[in-house]
Amino acid sequence: MSMRYLFPAAAAASFCGILLFSAQAFSQPPQPPPAVIRPGAVWPDNRGQHIQAHGGGILKYGDTYYWFGEDRGQGLDPAKRYVSCYSSKDLAHWTFRNQVIKLSDPENFGPHWVLERPKVFYNARTKRFVMYMHIDGPAGGRPYGIARVGVATCDIVDGDYRYLRSFRPLGHESRDIGQFVDDDGTAYLIFEDRPFGFRIARLSANYLSVEKQMCLIPAHMEGGALIHYQGLYYVIGSRLSGWAPNPNKYATARRLEGPWSEFRDIAPPETRTYGSQSTMLLKVVGTKKTTVIFMGDIWKPRTQWDSRYLWMPLEIGDGKLWLPEPKPWMLDLATGEVSFP
């Protein structure tokens, strides 16, 4: 067949193609702009209720983020402690999934027993979700005298977790905990050991125990959070001032074993971390940029259910880390880029 005869057919086909393409382009709804994260504001979930995930942690499983934290909602049974789980695909809109822990005093620690700072890891070998939490209660005349971690597991990310036991990691006191999964998939627990400082330790292969200490940073800090960014580890912690905010600080090291640098302020100290306390650092690797998010709690001790969240992208690199003044922001999860409305 000669081109003379082919051409009209090809032209018609490509013309139709253009029409089809244009029709598709017009029929696609415009992409909504990334949702706005508002530090310090009430953060409603899909039910319109303020998110209850205080002292929380984030697990990315598949293409979904899961946020676990202390549920300090009103009207709960005062004898029980609760952990709630929310899911999101954009880190801004959160769907309530389940109260994954509704626990009565599991080891007879008494009416003032404590369950704080739950963190969930996914173990790819056992295909189980493993939750660590700060388990405590009065002992030796001190309100937080027991100083242990608790472990609970579940086969489903947002299922009902089964409490297994509590223990002192590697025999040390443990109060505030933080979670960290390195780029090679190794899982670590950060825990505050009051007599000595801040410990980073590797979990065992099944994650059900704490296996090996990587370092002891001899600084008395809690709210521990850790990130590996461009070849450096950055650790953040707050001073020990209970619910009251204080100037959080960071240090860096090339290896988890150290040596660790001096601690420096992450924000102007007079702002006391803009009224917040660190709980987690989250790295979002996009096609254009890697963004590290500071996640903190703005505690309201007298109206705990109304405690707020301060999430802000950090200025980070070359051994420096800085929390900019909080303001509403947006994250493009695909590119990793941050913008401001």
Minimum Å distance from CB 277 to ligand GAL?
6
CB atoms within 10 A of CB 338: 18
CB atoms within 10 A of CB 314: 21
Contacts with ligand GAL: how many residues (CB under 6 A)?
9
Do the Cβ atoms of 169 and 147 come closer than 8 Å? no
Q: Is 116 in the site for ligand GAL (CB under 6 A)?
A: yes
| Residue among 35, 36, 68, 64 nearest 51 (CA) | 68
Do the Cβ atoms of 232 and 254 come closer than 8 Å? yes
Supply φ then ψ for residue 138, to 5 degrees: -70, 140
Minimum Å distance from CB 290 to ligand GAL?
28
Minimum Å distance from CB 184 to ligand GAL?
29
Sole binder of ligand GAL in the list 71, 176, 193, 332 (CB under 6 A): 176
User: Is the Cβ of residue 61 or residue 243 nearer to ligand GAL in the bound state?
Assistant: 243
Q: Is 45 in the site for ligand GAL (CB under 6 A)?
A: no
- CB-based burial, 233-246: b 16+ in 10 Å, e otherwise: bbbbbbbeeeeebb
If you search the block for the tokens 């074993």, which residue do you land on?
257
- CB-based burial, 164-186: b 16+ in 10 Å, e otherwise: eebeebbebbbbbbbbbbeeeee
Residue nearest to ligand GAL (CB): 242
User: What residues between 281 and 340 interact with ligand GAL by CB under 6 A?
Assistant: none
Q: Is 145 in the site for ligand GAL (CB under 6 A)?
A: no
Q: Is 142 in the site for ligand GAL (CB under 6 A)?
A: no
Sole binder of ligand GAL in the list 55, 69, 247, 313 (CB under 6 A): 55
Sole binder of ligand GAL in the list 93, 243, 259, 324 (CB under 6 A): 243
User: Residue 39 is encoded by which pair of tokens?
Assistant: 């530090």
User: Residue 123 is encoded by which pair of tokens?
Assistant: 């173990």
Sole binder of ligand GAL in the list 222, 225, 273, 321 (CB under 6 A): 222
User: Is the Cβ of residue 88 or residue 199 nearer to ligand GAL in the bound state?
Assistant: 199
User: Is the Cβ of residue 192 or residue 332 nearer to ligand GAL in the bound state?
Assistant: 192
Minimum Å distance from CB 302 to ligand GAL?
12
C-alpha distances (whole Å) from 270 to each of 234, 275, 296, 307, 328 are 22, 10, 17, 21, 21
User: Is the Cβ of residue 116 or residue 193 nearer to ligand GAL in the bound state?
Assistant: 116
Sole binder of ligand GAL in the list 117, 148, 199, 272 (CB under 6 A): 117
Sole binder of ligand GAL in the list 242, 268, 269, 341 (CB under 6 A): 242
Residue 183: CA atoms inside 13 Å, Cβ hemisphere, count? Answer: 12
Q: Is 223 in the site for ligand GAL (CB under 6 A)?
A: yes
Contact positions toward ligand GAL, by CB under 6 A? 55, 116-117, 176, 222-223, 242-243, 277
